[in-house]
């Protein structure tokens, strides 16, 4: 494999051009996949780790009749606010005048920080803006490979209607992901993109309900999450400061090192800073991410079920109308938190055991945030017909995740009418507009873009957020 890459590389313009990757870099690329699940959804895409073994293809003698996708954008650079914090930590290290020891020794060897252009903050990683021309983890390539996989899985649904309308929020990286996806579908399909505003003024007509929810308070349950011990962060700082006298790293710096590790892999293809952590530390970091998201964007915050109901309601309506609607594939691109909110209302990753701040609940723990929404996350709703019966089920990041209370159908799917009963029970008592106080920011109280895109051209201004 390595020699293949190497010979291709030597023949490529890269070898004759400015950047000649070092052999040592080549050897590192692709060796860090095992830690992606521990990096809070900031590392490159990975399939859902706890696959139950149920094939994601339509079961024997069944035919797909509709598919819906809610996807996250692909691998990206840090946000502006995370970038600011990362630079603070990086400046501490880059201003250290002595030789580094231990796991930071790689900084002695002409290391260049992976954020080389501030304009890249918030944006997808691409072949163009990667730090290393061999980076296999760009958001661009992820979206393109995903599109080819989509065609292989669901291409039949496009056969009678090669016009395809795709939906994306107005976040630039989300939009770009949808564009890359569309590009890779190829010229057999006439795909158009509708860019749906994610400003609060869009109200309920949004794929990003979180931004239209002024009632949402990120710290509503910080009394629970703040109790999580940061001893593991202190230990990292202490260890590095002991090896490197005078460095003075703090717990906040330790926390940033995990982000550095994750984002650098998406920009460079590998990251030496990842070697700083022990496996225990990775697990403690990862659980903190689960805990904090559980209480800010997941089942631990009752308001989130209302937030997610905006999209879940619409997806159920699309399922019910699958025969009348010409379009059989509904593809929507958005942010991680919006997908978490949606999944919380669907109820796929809520076993009713609240996550706690005192210990890692290894056995009672289905809410793994990064498993649900890694970069490039893809949540599919499948509707298929077998004989005269229709069934519904979910495929999250390539794994079929059954609705346990409704999985009697083929491939552990839920019989259509039972699914609508299930959905109605999940949606009972929820009201996005009222619970979120949407009317204080917008007079739009229903989601219509899946039904009126033929008459309304959605082309919201792109935002770098
Ligand atoms: C309910 C609710 N939850 C969170 C937020 C804030 N928010 C919106 S997108 C995003 C992360 C970017 O994700 P990605 O990396 O997928 O673009 C965050 C933190 C909100 N406004 N409402």
| pLDDT tens-digit series, residues 196-215 | 999 999 999 999 999 999 99
User: 377 CB under 6 A from ligand 1?
Assistant: no
Residue 2: inside a domain: no
| Nearest residue by C-alpha to atom 1 in ligand 1 | 210
Structure confidence at residue 394 as a pLDDT band (50, 70, 90): very high
Task: Report whether pLDDT(184) > 60.
Answer: yes
- Look at residue 398 in the predicted model and tell me its pLDDT: 98
- Specify if 8 maps to a domain: no
Residue 175 lies in a domain: yes
Q: Which domain holds residue 355?
A: 23-452
Does the annotation mark 175 as catalytic?
Answer: no
Whether 117 has a pLDDT exceeding 90, the answer reads: yes
Integer Cα distance of 81 and 108 in angstroms: 27
123 lines ligand 1 (CB under 6 A): no
Q: How far is the CA of 174 from the centre of ligand 1 (A)?
A: 12
Averaged over 259-281, what is the pLDDT? 98
- pLDDT score, position 162: 78
What's the mean pLDDT in 231-247?
98
Which token pair is 442? 């917008």
- Domain membership flag for residue 12: no
In short, whether 307's Cβ falls inside 6 Å of ligand 1 is yes
Q: Which tokens is 296 given? A: 């800010």
Taking all residues of the chain, what is their mean pLDDT, rounded to a whole number? 95
pLDDT score for 144: 98
Q: What is the mean pLDDT of residues 120-131?
A: 98
Is 0.90 exceeded by the ipTM?
yes
CATH number at residue 60: 3.40.50.1240
Q: What's the confidence (pLDDT) of residue 189?
A: 95
* Whether residue 374 has its Cβ less than 6 Å from ligand 1: no
Contact 192, 165 (CB under 8 A): yes
User: Is residue 422 in a domain?
Assistant: yes
pTM listed for this prediction: 0.95
CA distances from 286 to 202, 405, 420 (A): 33, 28, 35
Residue 210 lies in a domain: yes
- In b/e form, how buried is each residue of 248-275, taking b as 16+ CB within 10 angstroms? ebebebbbbbbbbbbbbbbbbbbbbbbe
Q: Does the pLDDT at position 80 exceed 90?
A: yes
Confidence (pLDDT) at 14:
47
Judged against a pLDDT cut of 70, whether residue 16 lies above it is answered with: no
Residue 277, pLDDT above cutoff 70:
yes
Residue 459 maps to a domain: no
Q: How many distinct structural domains can be found in the chain?
A: 1
Q: Of residues 306, 336, 350, 418, which has the active-site annotation?
A: 336
Instruction: Answer yes or no: is 87 within a domain.
Output: yes
The atom number, within ligand 1, closest to the CA of 307 reads: 1
């Amino acid at each position: 494999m390595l020699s293949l890459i190497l010979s291709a590389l030597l023949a490529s313009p890269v070898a004759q051009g400015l950047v000649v990757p070092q052999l040592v870099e080549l050897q590192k690329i692709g060796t860090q996949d095992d830690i992606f699940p521990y990096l809070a959804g900031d590392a490159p895409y990975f399939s859902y780790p706890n696959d139950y073994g149920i094939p994601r293809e339509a079961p024997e003698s069944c035919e797909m009749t509709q598919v819906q996708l809610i996807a996250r954008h692909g691998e990206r650079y840090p946000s502006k606010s995370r970038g600011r914090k990362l630079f603070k930590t990086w400046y501490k290290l880059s201003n250290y005048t002595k030789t580094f020891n231990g796991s930071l020794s790689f900084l002695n060897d002409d290391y260049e920080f992976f954020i080389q252009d501030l304009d890249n903050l918030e944006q997808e990683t691409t072949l163009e803006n990667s730090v290393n021309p061999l980076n296999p983890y760009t958001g661009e390539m992820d979206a393109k490979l995903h599109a080819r996989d989509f065609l292989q899985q669901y291409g039949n649904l496009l056969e009678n209607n090669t016009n395809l309308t795709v939906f994306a929020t107005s976040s630039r990286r989300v939009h770009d992901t949808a564009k890359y996806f569309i590009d890779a579908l190829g010229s057999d399909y006439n795909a158009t993109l509708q860019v749906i505003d994610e400003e609060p003024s869009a109200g309920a007509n949004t794929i990003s309900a979180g931004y239209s929810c002024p009632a949402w308070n990120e710290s509503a349950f910080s009394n629970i999450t703040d109790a999580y011990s940061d001893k593991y962060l202190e230990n990292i700082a202490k260890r590095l400061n002991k090896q490197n006298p005078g460095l003075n790293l703090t717990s906040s710096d330790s926390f940033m090192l995990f982000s550095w590790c994750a984002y650098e892999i998406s920009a460079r293809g590998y990251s030496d800073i990842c070697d700083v952590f022990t496996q225990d530390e990775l697990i403690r970091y990862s659980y903190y991410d689960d805990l904090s998201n559980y209480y800010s964007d997941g089942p631990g915050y009752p308001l989130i079920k209302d937030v997610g109901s905006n999209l879940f309601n619409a997806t159920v309506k699309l399922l019910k109308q699958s025969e009348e609607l010409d379009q059989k594939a509904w593809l929507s691109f958005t942010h991680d938190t919006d997908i978490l909110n949606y999944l919380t209302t669907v109820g796929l990753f809520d076993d009713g055991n609240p996550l706690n701040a005192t210990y890692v609940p290894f056995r009672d723990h289905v809410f793994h945030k990064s498993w649900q929404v890694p970069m490039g996350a893809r949540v599919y709703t499948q509707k298929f017909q077998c004989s005269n019966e229709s069934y519904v089920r979910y495929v999250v990041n390539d794994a079929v995740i059954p609705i346990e209370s409704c999985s009697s159908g083929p491939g552990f799917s839920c019989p259509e009418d039972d699914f609508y009963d299930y959905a109605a029970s999940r949606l009972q008592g929820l009201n996005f507009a009222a619970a979120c106080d949407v009317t204080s920011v917008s007079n739009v109280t229903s989601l219509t873009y899946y039904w009126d895109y033929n008459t309304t051209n959605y082309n919201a201004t792109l935002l770098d957020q």
